[in-house]
Structures are given as C-alpha cells and as structure tokens.
Amino acid sequence: MIQSLLIANRGEIAVRVARTAREMGLEPIGVYAAADADAYHVAQMDRVVCLGEGPPMETYLSIPRLLEAARQVGVHAVHPGYGFLSENADFARAVIEAGFVWIGPPPEAIDEMGDKVRARRRMREAGVPVVPGSDELAQSEEALANIAKQIGFPVLVKAAAGGGGKGMSRVDRVEELPAALAEGRRVARAAFGSDRVYLERLFERPRHVEFQVFGDRSGNVVHLFERECSVQRRHQKIVEETPCLALDAPLREAMGRAAVQAARAVGYVGAGTVEFLLDEQRRFYFLEMNTRLQVEHPITEETLGLDLVRAQIEVADGAILPEAWLSGKLYPRGHAIELRLYAEDPVAFLPRTGRLLAWEEPSGPGVRVDAGVERGSSIGLDYDALLAKLVVSAADRAAAIARARRGLAEWIVLGVETNAPLLDSVLASEEFASGNYSTDLVSHVSLPEISETPDAVWIAAALELASGGSARGSPASRAPEPWDEASGWRPGT
C-alpha cells in the first residue's frame, strides 16, 4: 500500500503530482539540487531531500543520488514526472530492484518504445500504420540515401533514441543528406548518448494528433481520446486542444483502436501517449510513443473530469482500470485548450533569464494554471524554459478560445520575457479559429507590436520585491482583513 511518494522531478510537474498525492492522503516528498533550494516546488512538499551540488547530470539526472534520497526518507513509491529520467528504463529498473513501487510503465516497454527505430518495427508487426522511412538495418550513408530516394524527398533525419526535435533536420535533396546525417549524429550523441539516426518521409502540412492510453497490470488497455498538438515551434508543442476538429467518429475510432494496439504490443501499464501524423488525405501514421505522462495531460482531465496522476498511482498500487473506462462509457464534454508559457523571446524562440518581479496568474470559471514558479523565482538556463501552463475549458471551442485569450491578457509577468505575445497571436489567427491548421501554423502568424513596459512599473515591482514583499497568496502580500483576526470575530455577527 503506497503511503508516501518521492517525486523525482522539479518545476510545475512536481507541484502537480504533489497536490494529487496530498489529496489521496499520501505524503509527497520532493528533491532539489542545492542551487534550487528556494525553488517553488520545494515549498510544496511535506518533506524534501537535497541532491547535493552540481548540474542536472549530477542531481536530477543522477540515479544513485535519487535512490539514496528514496532510501533516506523511506518512501514507498517513486513518481518520475516527465522529462529528466521519466523515460529512462535503467532508472525504472533501479527503482524496482531497490524495492520501491515505480509509477510508470514496465522498463521493457520503455526500452522498446524509447528507441524510435525499434518502435517503428514493433508497430508494423502490430498492424499499426507507420510513417514511411528507414529501419535499424540502414545506417550507412549509401543505404540511407537509397531509402531517401525510394520514399521521396523531402525527408527528415531523426535521432533513434531521441525526441523533442533534437537531432532532427529537413533534407530536400540527396546532396544535402551527408551533412544532415553528420549533424544529426553529432546532436544525437550529445543529447541522448547514441548517434543512431533514421529517416522518415516529411509530410508538408500534417496534423499532429495524439491519443492518451492507459493500461493496468491485468492486461486492460484503453484510450482516453485525442489531443491536437499541431501548434509547434521548432518541433516543440506550445498549444494543445481537445477534441481535434479534424477527426470524425470513424477516424477517431480507427486511431483510438490503433493506439490501443500499440500499447498492448509492448505490455503497457499506466499512462502513455501514442502520437500520430495525420496527412491531408486523412491517413494517419504512427509517429512515436511517449512512455510517461504528457505535459498536455490537463486538457484530457478537464474534458473527462479525471485526475490522471491519481489513476497512475492507483494502477501502480495494483488497481484495475475503472469500469466506466473499460465499458466505453466515458465521453468528453466541452472543449479544452492548453497554452505553454515559456521564458523566451517570442520571435527568436531563445530562452530568457531573470527574476520574476511580478507574477499574477489569471483565474475565474474554467481557468486552471499549473505553475512551477512564483513571484521572486529566478529563471536560469539549467532547466527547461517552461514557466507554467494555462488550461481553459468551456462548453465549445469558440468559448474556450475567448477564455484562453482573456486568461493570457490577465496574466501579469514582469522581470522575464515570455512567449505570451506569440500564444495570443496564434489564438487570434483566422487559421487557428477555422480549426483547419497544421504543424506549420506558427510560421504563418505575425506578432502584434509589443509595447514597452513603463520604467515606473519595473521600478515599483523591483522595490516591492527588494523590501521583502511576499509571494502571491501569503498574508504579508495583502492588506489586513477581518478574517485574519484571532479575536473571535465572525462574518454575519
């Protein structure tokens, strides 16, 4: 019986997992690098363990240090969140061998789907349509050049062990292939420890549609509908929505069935995502499987009324999937959109650093913010630039878009530049509003003129923070109210 949980992560996902753990009566225990001692996620835990000094490779990515932290506090289970070691089969094995419950899929499934080339082979064997491309046998320049000619240009060079767009490049002519392969191998070796690459046919205007899958230890596997993830910059998602307007009932059923086949083929347990490309002829192809919880999981939660982290923990503890899931009686309601707020230049997509002098989150009906920072947080370059996610839900898509724009407009962030102008431009574009868009949407939108923040605002925010102004929501950050009195005062008396 799980009673305590080590969250082997940081930022907004660590906070999000801790909240569900606490609701379940479990003790959330966090970890932090020494330089991260003042990070927002640290204060959201019941207990924390310092992973010591050093960069991420020596802290959040150190399997020995994480296992030692788990032993030190005597936890029952380990939740990896997403990113860092969440899709590392060696970490999963080490957690299990150390006697802790691993809240994730079997290490064998992580191994099989983590290698993109092996995953493509397994999917073909399972009868799941796969994007035309090369296999594990083709690694020489000559073999890959021949395959590129067969499937037709343009093609993508991709890292076999990778993800997130790292090591990926477009090739339009056979003469460009050697340089692209050399660069892809160099980046892949640095990012993933393996220089193996493969080729995929490049579809010019595809949609990126993924299906949330879930399995239990009794062999049950279901899908929890789709998410549209086509709004991307540099192959990284920035806006997601559900449902996907490109799917009708027959196509949704076919893609959902293929996603379940994919998960069953590797004995999948827990939460995972099967990603597909959908071409302009409405043909779909397996792209990859993410063997973890996705960043965009909240929009599925909002339309289905679920807590996927709770389900992860329950399944890891031996529970069978709920009857409503197994009987197909679960149906989404309304529309949900997620916006990822990054600390970055909204035009060049370069990360930005600084200190959050002001941070006021939007609120109201149908508005949810999953944040990993607060006012006063320092934003550096050691970690992902994601600050928070704005998740909105409404009765229909038009209302959800309006709510998302309202939420963005209310969000006050000073001290660090963000991609908020880009997000609003996407939402305001006719192409997005039509629902008929593809993965090249961001290249079509133009940013509005970004107004300069008056110097007086910066000075006031900096002075308040320097004078000891507290983070949002704390008593010191607001004027005294009657509810603060300890004199026995009650409302209505």
Structure tokens at 74: 């005597």
Would you list the domain boundaries of the chain?
4-103, 132-201, 207-444
Q: Does the pLDDT of residue 359 top 60, yes or no?
A: yes
Q: State the chain's mean pLDDT as an integer.
A: 91
Q: What is 207-444's CATH number? A: 3.30.470.20
pLDDT value for 484: 42
Q: What is the mean pLDDT of residues 252-269?
A: 98
Residue 331 contacts by C-beta under 8 Å, 6 or more apart in sequence? none
User: For 85-130, what is each residue's pLDDT tens digit?
Assistant: 999 999 999 999 999 999 999 999 999 999 888 999 999 999 999 9
User: For 398-426, what is each residue's pLDDT tens digit?
Assistant: 999 999 999 999 999 999 999 999 999 99
Q: Does the pLDDT of residue 300 top 90, yes or no?
A: yes
CATH number for 132-201 (one of 3.20.20.80, 3.30.1490.20, 3.40.50.2300, 3.40.50.300): it is 3.30.1490.20
Q: Does the pLDDT of residue 193 top 90, yes or no?
A: no
Q: Does the pLDDT of residue 337 top 90, yes or no?
A: yes
> Per DSSP, what are the bridge partners of residue 28?
5
Confidence of residue 331 (pLDDT cuts 50, 70, 90): very high
Structure tokens at 25: 């009566």
- Of the two residues 163 and 129, the one the predictor is more confident about is 129
Query: Are the folds of 132-201 and 207-444 the same?
Result: no
pLDDT value for 165: 74
- Does residue 353 come out as left (phi exceeding 0), alpha (psi in the -120 to 50 range) or beta? beta
Q: If DSSP codes are grouped into helix, strand and coil, which group holds residue 279?
A: coil
pLDDT value for 124: 93
CA 393 from chain centre, in angstroms, equals 18
Q: Does the pLDDT of residue 473 top 90, yes or no?
A: no
CATH number for 4-103 (one of 3.40.50.20, 2.60.40.10, 3.30.1360.40, 3.40.50.300): it is 3.40.50.20
Q: Which helix (H) or strand (E) holds 413?
A: strand 412-414
Whether the bond between 421 and the residue before it is cis, its omega within 30 degrees of 0, is no
pLDDT value for 293: 97
